[in-house]
Structure 1
Amino acid sequence: MCEAYVSDIYEYLHNMEVHRRPIADYIEKVQKDVGINMRGVLIDWLVEVTEEYKLLSHTLYLIVSYIDRFLSTKVLNRKRLQLLGVSSMLIAARITIVAQEDYELSSYMQLEFLGYYLAELSLLEYGCLKFLPSMVAASVIFLSRFTLKPRAHPWSCYKLSGYKPSDLKECVQILHDLQSGRRAGNLVAVREKYKQHKVCVTLL
C-alpha cells in the first residue's frame, strides 16, 4: 500500500463506519415486535447456516450489519425476522467469496483464530452496537493478545487504531464476558463452530 494514501484511507473508513452504523438502541426506539433475544437467536442460527454453506466470516459480519441497519429504519413483524436474515445472507453472499473447505492450521496464527472467535461472539451481543466497528476490532486484538500473552505489552497499535487502552475498557470487558460465557451463554453456534479441532480457541 502506498504510504502517501494510508492516512486518507483510514480517514475515509472511519467516516464510513460512522455514517453507516445502525442505531445502537433501535430495538427500544424503533422496533415494536422484535426483541433483543430474538436478534440473538437469529444471529446464532445464521452462524450455523454460514458455517454449513462454508461462507467466509466476512460474510457473517455483512449479514449482521444489513440486519441491524434495516431494523434501525423499518419496523418489522417478528414473523418476518428470519426472512430478513435469509435475505441479508443472500445479498452478503453475492459480495463475498465462498471459503475453501480445506486448510491447515499451520497456515493460520492462533491469534487470528482467537480474534475471529471474539469478533463473531460480539455479533451476538446487542450491547456492542454502541461501539464503532473499529473499536470492536481494536478491542478484539487487545483481548486476543492479552489472552495469549498476558505478560506482553497489551497494546502497540495505537498509531493505527487511534484508540488508547482506556478507550477500549468497556468493550474489552463485554468481549471478555462473552469469551467466558457470562453473556450470550445460551447462544452456542459460535462456540460450537470454534470447538472444532482445527480451530479450537474456545478453551483459551
Structure 2
Amino acid sequence: MATRHQNAAAAPQPANRGAAVPAAKQKAAAAGRPEARNRRALGDIGNLVHPQALDCLKEGINRPITRSFGAQLLKNAQANGAVANKVAIAPARQAAAPKPAKKAPAKAKITTIPDQAKKPSEAVASSSAQKASRKKVVDTLTKVLTARSKVACGLTGRPKEPVEDIDELDKNNELAVVDYIEDIYKFYMTAQHESRPVEYMGNQPEINPKMRAILADWIVEVTHKFELMPETLYLTIYIVDMFLSVQQVPRRELQLVGVAAMLIACKYEEIWAPEVNDFISISDNAYSRPQILGMEKSILNKMAWNLTVPTPYVFLVRFVKAAGNDKELEHMVFFFAEMALKEYNMVSLCPSLVAASAVYAARCTLKKSPIWTGTLEHHTTFNETQLLEPAKVLVNAHAAAPESKLRAIYKKYATEQFGRVALHPPAVAAQGV
C-alpha cells in the first residue's frame, strides 16, 4: 500500500491540469495566503498620472492591463513627459539666463585681531602707530608766508605753458638736422663744463679787468672790419680767457695774445682766413711775424690744441630760435651777448647762462610779454630767478655804453645793418631787471 501511494505521488501529472482550475478559486487561494493578507492596498495614483499616460491608456491596448503592466505604462509615460518638458523649457531658460560673469580672483582676507586679544606690548605698539599716523602736519610760519606770497603773485594755480616745437618749420631742411638737434644740444650742455676759463685776475700781476675790456672791444672792432664770422669772435675771446687762466702774461704782450688768438680762430672757423701780415697791419706793426707765430704755438700748446668747445654763440642761435625768430630781437640778443664779452664778471659763467641772460635782457629791453616763456625755460634750462643777476649786469652795461670810452659794440649795433637796436632805451626795474 505504501508502495502504491508512493508510486502514485511520483506519477507524472497531466500538463493541462492546472488550467482546469477556475480563476475565482485561484483568487480565493491567493487571498488565503499570508503574503496576500499582509500586502498594502494600492493607493490612489490619479495625481501621479501624467496626462500623456492617460492618453496612452486610452489608446487601444489589446493585452489586459494588470497592475504591473499599468505601473510600467505609467512609468514610461512619466519619463516621456519629463523629457518633453526639458526639451521645451531648455531654450527659454538659455535665452533668459544671463551669461555667467567671470569670477574675480579671491582676495586674501585680512583678519584683524581685536585689541583685547592682543598682548599688552602689541596693543601699545599698534595704538602708538595709529596716533603717529593720525598726527597732523603742523605748518610753520615760513610755509604759510611762502604760500601767501605765491598766491599774491599769482604763482599758484597757474597752468603750465605748452612747449612750442621750434623745429616744426625745419623738418624738411636737411641742414637743420632736426632729428639730432636735441641730442646735439644735450651734448653741448654737458661739454660746456669740461673746459671753461676761471677767474684769473688774481694770478695776473700786470693785467686788470679794464685792460681785458679794452682788448675785447678792440677784437670786436677788428672782426667787424674784416667781416669775420660771429663764431670767430666768440672763439677768439674764449682762447684769450683760457690762455690767461693758465699763463701769466705781461701787459705789453696782452694785445699779442689777442692777435694770435684771432689768427687761430680764423684758421679754425673761416673759409678764407686773414694772413699774418693783415694782423701786423691792424696792430700798427706793434708785433713782428715771428712774435705772432711764436705766441700762436705757445697758446696751442697750453690749450693742448683743444679748440672744439661750445661757446656762447652755439647757444645763442638755439635760444633766439626759441624766443620767436624776431629779427629785431635777434639783433638785440647779439648786442647784449657781445656786451657780455667785455664783462670780466661773466668770464667764469657757463656759456649757456650767458646766452640765456642776453635773451632775457633783450626781451626786457624790447618789453616783450611775457618776458620768459615755458618754451625758453625748456630750451635754456634756466628760470627767471637764475637770470636776473647776469641780466642786470648787461642792462647796466647798455645804460653806460653811450658815455663809455669803449664804444665799438655800441657803434656797431647803432647802425642800420643791425636795426639800430643799441639806441633803444635801457630796460628799467619795472621790466624785471
Q: Separation in 2 of the partners of 1:141 and 1:54? A: 24
Q: Which residue of 1 aligns with 2:328?
A: 110
Q: For residue 203 of structure 1, what is the amino acid of its counterpart?
A: L
Q: 1:44 aligns to what?
A: 217
Q: Tell me the equivalent position of 2:201.
A: 27
- Give the fraction of aligned pairs with identical amino acids, expressed as a percent: 33
d(CA) in 2 for partners of 1:166 and 1:178? 20
Report the residue type matching 2:197 in the other structure.
P
The change in CA–CA distance for 1:182 and 1:51 in structure 2 (over 3 A counts) is closer
Change in CA separation of 1:108 and 1:2 when aligned onto 2, cut-off 3 Å: closer
1:159 aligns with 2:378: yes
Question: What SS does structure 2 have at the residue aligned with 1:131?
Answer: coil
Task: Give 1 or 2: higher helix fraction.
Answer: 1
Which residue type is aligned with residue 202 of structure 1?
A
Distance between the aligned counterparts of 2:231 and 2:400, measured in 1?
23
Structure 2 distance, partners of 1:132, 1:98, is 28
Gaps of 5+ in 1: 100-106
**C-alpha distance 54-6 of structure 1, shift in aligned 2 (>3 A):** closer
CA–CA separation in structure 2 for the residues paired with 1:148 and 1:12: 31
Q: 1:96 aligns with which of 248, 264, 269?
A: 269
- Does the Cα contact within 8 Å between 1:178 and 1:185 map onto a contact in 2? no
**Matching residue of 2:404:** 185
Q: Is the 8 A contact 1:178 1:184 kept in 2?
A: no
Matching of residue 147 in structure 1 with residue 370 in structure 2: no
- For residues 19 and 174 of structure 1, the distance between their equivalents in structure 2, rounded to whole angstroms, comes to 25
Shift of 1:60: 1.0
* Structure 2 portions without partners, runs of 5+: 1-176, 273-324, 425-433
Aligned residues of 1:67 and 1:85 also touching (Cα < 8 A): yes
Aligned residue for 1:130, secondary structure, equals: coil
Query: Residues of 2 paired with 1:108 and 1:57: CA distance?
Result: 19
Change (3 A) 1:98 1:178: farther
Match 1:129 to one of 334, 347, 354: 347
Query: Which structure 2 residues correspond to residues 76-95 of structure 1 after superposition, within 5 A?
Result: 76-95=249-268
Deviation of residue 61 (structure 1)?
Answer: 0.8
TM-score normalised per structure 1: 0.87
Q: Is the 8 A contact 2:196 2:348 kept in 1?
A: no
Aligned mates of 1:44, 1:12 — CA distance in 2? 31
C-alpha distance in 1 between matches for 2:337 and 2:206: 27
How many residue pairs were aligned?
193
Deviation for aligned residue 1:96:
2.0
- Residues 17-46 of structure 1 show CA distances to partners (whole Å, capped at 9, x for unaligned) of 1112100x2011x21111111111111111
Question: Are the counterparts in 2 of residues 66 and 88 from structure 1 also a CA contact under 8 Å?
Answer: yes
Shift of 1:108: 7.7
How far residue 11 of structure 1 moved from its aligned partner, in angstroms, is 2.9
Tell me the TM-score normalized by structure 2. 0.42
2:371 maps to amino acid? P
Q: Residue 159 of structure 2 aligns with which residue?
A: none
Of the structure 1 ranges 159-168 and 139-148, higher mean CA displacement relative to structure 2 is found in: 139-148
Q: 1:202 aligns with which of 398, 407, 422?
A: 422
Q: 1:183 to 1:11 in 2, by over 3 A?
A: farther
Q: Which has the higher contact order (CA 8 A, sep 6+)?
A: 1
Alpha-carbon distance in 2 for matches of 1:36, 1:183: 20
Over the aligned positions, Cα root-mean-square deviation in angstroms equals 2.2
Match of 1:59 in 2: 232
Cα distance per residue 1:158-191 (max 9 Å; x no partner): 1111101001111110011111117993311111
The residue that corresponds to 1:172 in the other structure is: 391
SS at match of 1:181: helix
